[in-house]
């Protein structure tokens, strides 16, 4: 099978290889998926760059966790009716070496849910890490109907979907954006108010957007940098659901200030989501995809042979939307 892989850490153009590898065989409980698309996420490029030093201990790695394709074969214990089913794939390169940047991937049947007919393979490659992370951030602490959520980075890969999930579920959504284009993206996704997180009076802007009232929850893309504002705008008993802290990777916590507000901090990483949360997310995705209820942004679509270029685009961090490679 045609595939991309790396045997050493480093810049994409230096370490990513393209060529032919053996086609895998599905094991017990697995399906063999003929991939049509593969999504490149920030976590994928970080792995290739060396953020997980032991990743290559057992040999080369085929990158990327997300993608979409068609089941061509099944392993023992999988219903034969799944052959020919269109699916989206998640967690292909989590705890294992063989991701979706290849013609075929053999993966647990549970990690290859049905892709509704109305959704294209490009959409299928968008909905693993970013959409599941957003779903968990919004719903991990219960129903949001009638609550006010501050969603930072509302035009980002995760924030964009968090705005959609929250607004669909009946929440009053205040999103943050630093320019007019991103602000409009947030509004189109369902944000009721948009504030500029670079405003020196950021906290006041949030409260003004909520009629002077404190918010119920914060879904946060920059935990450490935004923590002072999050504490200021959250009600007693509020929650911060966060999935990144790049600017301040080791933040100091003002313990007593947070304690007296009875705040909850929920750290989110899609790989550690409990199975019940994954099942909940998959069920909601399937329904939303059937109803064509979610908006998706695909910034770049490249052939597999240009996967290094796709990695560089993601690393630059400037594009708004998914970077996808096609496998034909």
Residues 256-310 pLDDT 10s: 999 999 999 999 999 999 999 999 999 999 999 999 999 999 999 999 999 999 9
What is the CATH code for 2-127+296-326?
3.90.180.10
Name the DSSP class of 253: P
CB of 70 closer than 8 Å to CB of 36: yes
Q: Which residues of the chain have pLDDT under 70?
A: none
CB of 183 closer than 8 Å to CB of 177: yes
Q: Where are the domains of the chain?
A: 2-127+296-326, 130-271
Residue 144 Cα to chain centre, angstroms = 20
On the question of a common fold for 2-127+296-326 and 130-271, the answer reads: yes
The Cβ-side half-sphere exposure at 193, using a 13 Å CA radius, reads 18
pLDDT at residue 195, as a whole number? 98
pLDDT at residue 32, as a whole number? 98
pLDDT at residue 317, as a whole number? 82
pLDDT at residue 328, as a whole number? 85
pLDDT at residue 277, as a whole number? 96
Q: Yes or no: is domain 130-271 CATH 3.90.180.10?
A: yes
């Amino acid at each position: 099978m045609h595939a991309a892989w790396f045997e050493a850490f480093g810049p994409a153009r230096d370490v990513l290889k393209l060529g032919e590898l053996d086609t895998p065989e599905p094991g017990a409980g697995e399906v063999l998926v003929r991939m049509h698309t593969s999504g490149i996420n920030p976590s994928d490029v970080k792995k290739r760059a060396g953020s997980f030093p032991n990743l290559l201990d057992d040999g080369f790695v085929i990158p990327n966790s997300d993608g979409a394709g068609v089941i061509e074969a099944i392993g023992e214990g999988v219903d034969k009716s799944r052959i020919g089913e269109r699916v989206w794939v998640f967690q292909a390169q989590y705890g294992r070496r063989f991701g979706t940047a290849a013609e075929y991937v053999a993966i647990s049947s549970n990690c290859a849910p049905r892709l509704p007919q109305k959704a294209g393979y490009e959409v299928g490659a968008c909905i693993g890490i970013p959409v599941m992370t957003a779903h968990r951030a919004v719903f991990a602490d219960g129903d949001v109907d009638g609550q006010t959520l501050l969603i930072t980075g509302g035009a980002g890969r995760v924030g964009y979907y968090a705005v959609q999930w929250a607004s669909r579920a009946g929440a009053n959504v205040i999103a943050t954006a630093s320019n007019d284009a991103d602000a409009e993206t947030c509004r189109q996704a369902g944000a009721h108010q948009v504030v500029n997180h670079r405003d020196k009076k950021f906290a006041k802007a949030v409260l003004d957007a909520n009629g002077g009232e404190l918010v119920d929850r914060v879904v946060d893309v920059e935990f450490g940098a935004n923590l002072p504002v999050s504490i200021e705008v959250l009600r007693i008993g509020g929650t911060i659901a966060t999935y990144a802290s790049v600017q301040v990777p080791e933040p100091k916590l003002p313990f007593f200030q947070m304690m007296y507000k009875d705040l909850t901090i929920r750290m989110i990483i899609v790989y550690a989501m409990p199975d019940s949360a994954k099942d909940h997310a998959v069920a909601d995705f399937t329904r939303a995809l059937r109803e064509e209820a979610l908006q998706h942004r695909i910034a770049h679509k490249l052939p597999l042979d240009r996967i290094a270029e796709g990695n560089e685009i993601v690393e630059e961090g400037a594009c708004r939307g998914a970077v996808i490679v096609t496998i034909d």
